[in-house]
């Protein structure tokens, strides 16, 4: 059972007599443990809620449309505590955070419910047969799994969890049930690459068609790895080798099944100093949040947006302006190129693009989403910023108010003395923001 913390006024539940403080025991006779149970059993036209108030049971029946909400809120979005990760992965980014950050940054979650609600990747080590049975019964899909290797012994070593090898069998159960699986491999140099990578690709390919996407991304390594497993970044030539291997495997799948299914993150191409694949390679960008095709998608969106303006006259009212953009090393060349295209098309627009080095995490961390307010402030000190500065929204926490270092948006504005707008990772939004027009 779960405690109801709020009942929306005049909602169906309120009109039925449910009140804040009551305990929800079951829906249509099914026990409610968390948000997955609640959402699944609530999806009926007629629902009977069994509740407790001051220890006394009561029931109400509500008529509604299948997917209508009834107006209940609970103590947490999960209606339960987040499940803490029980692994000790050799590449875990959280273990590489410097000290002195806010407490929530150090929390490791590995919660299957967040996989369905927010697209998080899970390792399966926190799950039991009962959990898998529930997922299959409820047909929750897709299931996003951090696999890393299909070698059971190596998976145990990499994740420092004795269940890590055994739970790989859950992948077969999910596939046999016809659920969609998205998987990822965090590649560690000298650990799960080479022959081990070839084995993992082959093993996972056998799960098709249930396996609908698989990404290969390099382990993110900060400068704060004292006492941790010794890992080194891939060299340029090693990145090129990984690209050849994974691309060749994807080519074979494409020829055999009609879908490539296996993709490399942008970081491999940047480190290899090779051009990104064409848009068709990504087959709909199913793993864009894993950094797979993010730059290519951004470029395509921005190109379309620029093309929407046939001549400079269309933006004349707002184009007499000077603005600035700051980003990480990975996206800098792309944003600089786009800025030059905009300046060429709109002669009265001046865009300063600045590359911010990540001193907080270290030289190997180049993505914009891990920039801190501290590094941005230091990197832009004394620079010409124009009338407005644009920064990546991804560098802020979900609430949109703090950077990872704890600096607030207001603090950064005061330090730099310029209004700051935060842009989502969207090429159309980027172009329109720089031009000062509505999307």
Q: Does residue 88 lie in a domain region?
A: no
Show Cβ contacts of residue 59 under 8 Å, excluding neighbours closer than 6 positions. Answer: 48, 49, 50, 51
Q: Does residue 191 lie in a domain region?
A: yes
Query: Does residue 313 sit in the same domain as residue 167?
Result: no
Q: What is the CATH number of the domain that holds 151?
A: 3.80.30
- How far apart are the C-alpha atoms of 181 and 142, rounded to whole Å? 5
Query: Looking at residue 24, what DSSP letter applies?
Result: E
Share of the chain above pLDDT 90, in %: 77
Task: Choose one of 14, 43, 74: the last residue of a domain.
Answer: 74
Is 34's pLDDT higher than 90? Answer: no
Q: Does residue 247 lie in a domain region?
A: yes
- How far apart are the C-alpha atoms of 211 and 174, rounded to whole Å? 10
**Confidence class for position 105, pLDDT limits 50, 70, 90:** low
Task: Choose one of 46, 74, 102: the last residue of a domain.
Answer: 74
Task: Choose one of 270, 291, 312: the last residue of a domain.
Answer: 291
Show Cβ contacts of residue 47 under 8 Å, excluding neighbours closer than 6 positions. Answer: 27, 28, 41, 61, 62, 64, 70
**Domain count across the chain:** 3
Helix (H) or strand (E) holding 152: helix 152-159
C-alpha of 98 from chain center: 22
Q: What is the pLDDT of residue 439?
A: 67
Q: Does residue 85 lie in a domain region?
A: no
Query: Does residue 149 sit in the same domain as residue 275?
Result: yes
Show Cβ contacts of residue 382 under 8 Å, excluding neighbours closer than 6 positions. Answer: none
Q: What is the pLDDT of residue 107?
A: 66
Q: Does residue 80 lie in a domain region?
A: no
Q: Does residue 401 lie in a domain region?
A: yes
Section 73-96 average pLDDT: 82
Is 230's pLDDT higher than 70? Answer: yes
**Confidence class for position 114, pLDDT limits 50, 70, 90:** low
Q: Mean of the per-residue pLDDT values for the chain?
A: 91
Query: Does residue 112 sit in the same domain as residue 165?
Result: yes
Query: Does residue 59 sit in the same domain as residue 113?
Result: no
Query: Does residue 319 sit in the same domain as residue 369?
Result: yes
Section 117-123 average pLDDT: 78
- Look up the domain containing 103 and give its range: 94-291
pLDDT, tens digit (0-9, with 9 covering 90-100), for 233-278: 999 999 999 999 999 999 999 999 999 999 999 999 999 999 999 9
- The CA-to-CA distance between both ends of the chain, in Å, stands at 45
Section 137-147 average pLDDT: 90
Q: What is the CATH number of the domain that holds 35?
A: 2.30.42.10
pLDDT, tens digit (0-9, with 9 covering 90-100), for 85-95: 888 999 999 88
Query: Does residue 193 sit in the same domain as residue 130?
Result: yes
Query: Does residue 284 sit in the same domain as residue 305?
Result: no
The model carries a pTM of 0.84
CA torsion 326-328-329-335 (nearest 10°) is -50
Query: Looking at residue 237, what DSSP letter applies?
Result: H
* 75 or 403: which leads in pLDDT: 403
Query: Does residue 122 sit in the same domain as residue 53?
Result: no
Q: What is the CATH number of the domain that holds 396?
A: 3.40.50
Is 319's pLDDT higher than 60? Answer: no
Tokens of 348: 């009265």
Q: Does residue 86 lie in a domain region?
A: no
Query: Does residue 400 sit in the same domain as residue 359?
Result: yes
Q: What is the pLDDT of residue 216?
A: 98
* 80 or 304: which leads in pLDDT: 304
pLDDT, tens digit (0-9, with 9 covering 90-100), for 356-367: 999 999 999 999
Q: What is the pLDDT of residue 133?
A: 92
Query: Does residue 267 sit in the same domain as residue 355?
Result: no
Which of 102-116, 186-200, 397-411 has maximum average pLDDT? Answer: 186-200
Query: Does residue 142 sit in the same domain as residue 215?
Result: yes
pLDDT, tens digit (0-9, with 9 covering 90-100), for 351-404: 999 999 999 999 999 999 999 999 999 999 999 999 999 999 999 988 889 998
Query: Does residue 247 sit in the same domain as residue 285?
Result: yes
Is 292's pLDDT higher than 70? Answer: yes
Section 44-56 average pLDDT: 95
Section 64-86 average pLDDT: 83
Q: Does residue 386 lie in a domain region?
A: yes
**Confidence class for position 197, pLDDT limits 50, 70, 90:** very high
């Amino acid at each position: 059972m779960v405690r109801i913390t709020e009942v929306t006024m005049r909602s169906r539940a309120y009109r039925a007599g449910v009140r804040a403080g009551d305990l929800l025991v079951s829906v249509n006779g099914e026990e409610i443990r968390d948000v997955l149970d609640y959402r699944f059993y609530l999806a009926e036209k007629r629902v009977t809620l069994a509740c407790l108030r001051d220890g006394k049971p009561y029931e109400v029946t509500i008529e509604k449309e299948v997917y209508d909400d009834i107006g209940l809120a609970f103590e947490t979005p999960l209606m339960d505590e987040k499940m803490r990760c029980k692994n000790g992965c050799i590449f875990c980014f959280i273990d590489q955070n410097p000290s002195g950050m806010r407490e929530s940054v150090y929390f490791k979650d590995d919660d299957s419910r967040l996989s369905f609600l927010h697209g998080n990747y899970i390792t399966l080590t926190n799950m039991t047969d009962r959990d898998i049975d529930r997922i299959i019964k409820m047909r929750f899909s897709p299931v996003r799994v951090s696999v890393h290797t299909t070698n059971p012994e190596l998976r145990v070593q990499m994740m420092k969890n004795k269940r890590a090898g055994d739970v790989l069998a859950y992948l077969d159960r999910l596939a046999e049930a016809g659920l969609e699986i998205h998987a990822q491999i965090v590649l560690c140099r000298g650990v799960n690459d080479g022959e081990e990578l070839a084995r993992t690709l082959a093993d996972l390919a056998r799960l098709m068609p249930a396996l609908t996407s698989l990404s290969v991304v390099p382990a993110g390594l900060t400068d704060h790895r004292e006492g941790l497993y010794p890992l080194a970044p891939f060299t340029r030539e090693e990145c090129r080798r990984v690209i050849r291997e994974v691309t060749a495997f994807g080519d074979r799948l494409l020829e055999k099944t009609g879908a490539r299914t296996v993709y490399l993150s942008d970081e491999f191409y940047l480190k290899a100093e090779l051009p990104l694949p064409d848009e068709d390679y990504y087959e709909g960008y199913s793993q864009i949040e894993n950094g797979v095709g993010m730059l290519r998608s951004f470029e395509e969106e921005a190109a379309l947006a620029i093309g929407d303006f046939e001549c400079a006259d269309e933006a004349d009212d707002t184009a007499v302006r000077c603005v600035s953009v700051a980003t990480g090393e990975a996206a800098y060349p792309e944003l600089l190129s786009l800025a030059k295209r905009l300046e060429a098309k709109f002669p009265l627009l001046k865009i300063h693009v600045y590359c911010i080095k990540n001193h907080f995490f270290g030289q190997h961390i180049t993505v914009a989403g891990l920039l801190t307010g501290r590094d941005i402030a230091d990197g832009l000190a004394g620079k010409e910023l124009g009338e407005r500065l644009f920064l990546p929204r991804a560098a802020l926490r979900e609430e949109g108010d703090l950077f990872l270092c704890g600096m607030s948006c207001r603090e950064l504005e005061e330090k730099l003395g310029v209004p700051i707008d935060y842009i989502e990772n969207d090429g159309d939004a980027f172009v329109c923001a720089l031009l000062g027009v509505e999307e």
